[in-house]
Amino acid sequence: METPNLPAIRALRPAWNKGRIVGQKRPLKPKHVWAIRVRLELAGNHRDLALFNMAIDSKLRGCDLVKMKVVDVISSGQIKERASVLQSKTQKPVRFEISEDTRASIQKWTVPCEHTKYPYDRGAFENRRRDGLATLENGLPAWPVAEENGIAFQTFRQRLKRGWSGERAATEGVREMAHDPDDEWEVIALENGLSVRAYRSRVQAGFPEAIAATMRLSWRQW
């Protein structure tokens, strides 16, 4: 009995590793390290330069490197000469020295972006594009202050579009809407942890009242 020739099955998309060199890479040579540093410095990319220098000094995994906090690199207003980070994979601390070049790059990135004197809970290498939208009267970024005051980013940006100063947009509180006790769906929304503003915004956007009152705030987090 002959076996019929079936049509060839082709992948809809090429393999992710096609044409790529996968697996363990050779370590960077000193000339490669300095070439990367020079390129980042000439481009004015202070964040990537500080992140790269810290990676060279600490030899940490990428997941541990990006999770580092300001408290891990700054103590009493000074960049630490030695740091200790708990690894997420092995749960063992790793101690390492921070070189002078790394301390200088961290000083350029971390310290000028602080909205308070030393926000130790902020990420040391987090992306801070929103910090450049507006500044306070003292010249520091306005968005971190707005975030601490519970102001949503959309509200903060709309205030800036209206011509508000960074100081006013970050510090003026959000007006609370009065609750209507006769609206049963609004009562259900409050019981589900929604604010009156969020519920009414959904209704104005065309949501049915039942869905607007019961859909949780985490619906966007796919």
Residue 9 lies in a domain: no
The encoded tokens of residue 195 equal 């604010």
Is residue 1 situated within a structural domain?
no
Q: pLDDT tier at 175 (50, 70, 90 boundaries)?
A: low
Q: 97 has which bridge partners?
A: 82
Spell out the residues 6+ positions from residue 111 whose beta carbon is closer than 8 angstroms to its own: 74
Spatial distance between the Cα atoms of 71 and 217, rounded to a whole number of angstroms: 31
Cα distance between residue 88 and residue 121, in whole Å: 18
Domain boundary among 113, 140, 160: 113
Most confident of 108-117, 128-137, 203-212: 203-212
- Number of domains comprising the chain: 3
Q: CA-CA distance, 64 to 52, in Å (whole number)?
A: 13
Question: What's the sign of the alpha-carbon dihedral 121, 71, 133, 221?
Answer: negative
* Whether 177 contacts 153, CB under 8 Å: no
154 in a domain, yes or no? yes
Domain boundary among 66, 85, 113: 113
What does the pLDDT look like over 86-104, one tens digit per residue? 998 898 999 999 999 899 8
**Does 145 lie in the same domain as 78?**
no
Does 138 map to a domain?
yes
Percent of the chain with pLDDT over 70: 82
Residues 94, 45 within the same domain = yes
- 149 plus 202 within the same structural domain: no
Provide the token pair at 66: 């990006």
The pLDDT score that the predictor gives to residue 173 is 74
The pLDDT assigned to 221 comes to 34
| 9-24 residue pLDDT tens | 665 778 888 888 888 8
Cβ–Cβ < 8 Å for 115, 141: yes
For the stretch 191-201, pLDDT in tens is: 877 777 778 87
> Residue 43 falls within a domain, yes or no?
yes
Greatest Cα pair distance, the chain, in angstroms, is: 87
Query: What domain range includes position 206?
Result: 184-220
Q: What is the mean pLDDT of the chain?
A: 79
- Backbone φ and ψ for 144, nearest 5 degrees, come out as -60, -35
- pTM for the complete prediction? 0.55
Contact by Cβ (8 Å): 125, 73: no
**Domain containing residue 59: CATH number:** 1.10.443.10
3-state DSSP helix/strand/coil % of the chain, to nearest 5: 45, 10, 45
Q: Is residue 124 part of a domain?
A: no
59 φ/ψ sector (left φ>0, alpha ψ -120 to 50, else beta): left
Residue-wise burial string across 57-74, b where 16 or more C-beta atoms lie within 10 A, e elsewhere: bbebbeebbebbbbebbb
- Residue 13 counted as domain residue: no
Tell me the C-alpha distance between 99 and 93, whole Å.
19
Residue 18 domain-assigned (yes or no): no
Residues 93 and 60 grouped into a single domain? yes
